Amino acid sequence: MQNSRVLITGGAGFIGSELVRQLVAKGIKQVIVVDNLVNGRRENLQDLPVDQVKLVVADIRDVEQMTNLMLDVDIVFHLACLGVRHSIHSPHENHEVNATATLNLLSAAKATGVNRFVYVSSSEVYGTAKWVPMKEEHPTFPMTVYGASKLAGECYTRAFYETYGYPTVVVRPFNSYGPRCHHEGDSGEVIPKFLLRCMAGKPMIIFGDGTQTRDFTYVSDTARAIMMAGFADSAVGQTINLGSGFEIAINDLAQEIASIVGQADVEIIHEAPRPGDVLRLYAETTKARQLLGFKPEITLREGLMKLKDWYLTSEEYPETLLKHEIVRNWDLSEIKL
Ligand SMILES: NC(=O)c1ccc[n+]([C@@H]2O[C@H](COP(=O)([O-])OP(=O)(O)OC[C@H]3O[C@@H](n4cnc5c(N)ncnc54)[C@H](O)[C@@H]3O)[C@@H](O)[C@H]2O)c1
């Protein structure tokens, strides 16, 4: 690892910046981060050594620039994407970034002689679980354009391995949370939104009846598993779930957060379901353990407490951070077709 040069797309984002941090801690020679900062932040990388980490503000859709950046790179970790709520109002742009750009990046990586391409997909490719826990062979039935475009990206990635023998890996993280996660705008996710609202004494808002479930992984675990996928030879050509193997309903998550924040009587409001919401996700994690030697280290309760502490050390109060929250962070009134 000490001699490797890696390129991370989306490396200024939530999971990407944690991956950069972990690679630096392992003594990686150089990390090139490519991010257009549409949802990522320069500040996410600000404490990292400039001789090891170089941020290039660029769009992954720029084929020429991406090809030039890949010269002399050993591994590409491809994380840049536009999210699930974005896909509801802007399906075409979501597809361009998540699917088309992935195909172009694969071509560029192969042409420039990059040794390995790790595609960070998503559990959203499965849609609602038909049975649990969900093995990698579980049918894929995405319910949003985000899930569909992530699935297209992973199919292109797998096809490069099957057709050209190009060494690729597909990992499918289930929901991740932790420092630098998004509470704001259309990237806002359930755990940071619930936690900040609870800390600010505001009601937690659940879309749907709250019986929908997720499998949450703390970000240091998610990023460590992605890093392992870049270096374990047994991962090449494989598709691997990255989850905790622990399922929780959103109603129970709200109660857990209320107990951690010490706001047992906080109000919980149920509103109409989000369009395309997946109702059940619960990972089977054996393959990650066998191929990567990966086992999550942080339980949900520990992770929620860590995130709460991280917010407490933040320079901004929960009330201030929540000014950037969009409660219903999708928009069906202005679909860009
Ligand atoms: N967060 C989760 O719970 C979760 C779960 C499953 C899978 N994933 C996957 O993990 C990866 C990272 O997700 P995240 O949660 O860190 O999201 P994020 O939005 O924080 O990171 C994505 C980054 O990509 C950048 N980006 C978007 N469009 C770009 C473009 N055209 N050119 C260059 N950069 C661009 C954004 O600025 C952002 O920094 C994604 O591929 C996502 O599908 C995330």
Report which ligand 1 atom has the smallest distance to the Cα of 124: 6
Q: Which domains does the chain have, with CATH numbers?
A: 5-176+216-242 (3.40.50.720), 181-214+247-280+299-334 (3.90.25.10)
> Alpha-carbon dihedral of residues 143, 149, 150, 154, nearest 10 degrees?
120
Please indicate whether residue 120, judged by its CB atom, sits closer than 6 Å to ligand 1: yes
Please report the pLDDT score of residue 231 as a whole number: 97
* Ligand 1, atom 12, residue with closest C-alpha: 79
Tokens of 33: 């981060």
Please indicate whether residue 59, judged by its CB atom, sits closer than 6 Å to ligand 1: yes
Rounded CA separation 292/304 (Å): 25
Report which ligand 1 atom has the smallest distance to the Cα of 17: 16
Please report the pLDDT score of residue 331 as a whole number: 81
| Residues lower than pLDDT 70 in the chain | none
Please report the pLDDT score of residue 81 as a whole number: 98
| Span from the CA of 160 to the centroid of ligand 1 (angstroms) | 22
Among the listed residues 146, 156, 177, 282, the single catalytic one is: 146
| Span from the CA of 242 to the centroid of ligand 1 (angstroms) | 16
Rounded CA separation 283/40 (Å): 27
**Is 146 a catalytic site residue?**
yes
Count of helices and strands (H, E) across the chain: 12, 13
Q: How far is CA 67 from CA 20, 37, 71, 108, 152, in A?
A: 21, 19, 7, 5, 21
Q: How far is CA 201 from CA 179, 204, 237, 240, 318, in A?
A: 21, 9, 48, 39, 9
Please report the pLDDT score of residue 332 as a whole number: 84
Please report the pLDDT score of residue 330 as a whole number: 87
| Span from the CA of 261 to the centroid of ligand 1 (angstroms) | 28
Please indicate whether residue 318, judged by its CB atom, sits closer than 6 Å to ligand 1: no
Please report the pLDDT score of residue 333 as a whole number: 83
**Confidence (pTM):** 0.98
Please report the pLDDT score of residue 1 as a whole number: 81
Q: Which residue has the tokens 């040794």?
A: 115
Please indicate whether residue 36, judged by its CB atom, sits closer than 6 Å to ligand 1: yes
| Span from the CA of 147 to the centroid of ligand 1 (angstroms) | 13
- Which residues are bridge partners to 239 per DSSP? 170
CB contact set of 316 (below 8 Å; sequence gap of 6+): none
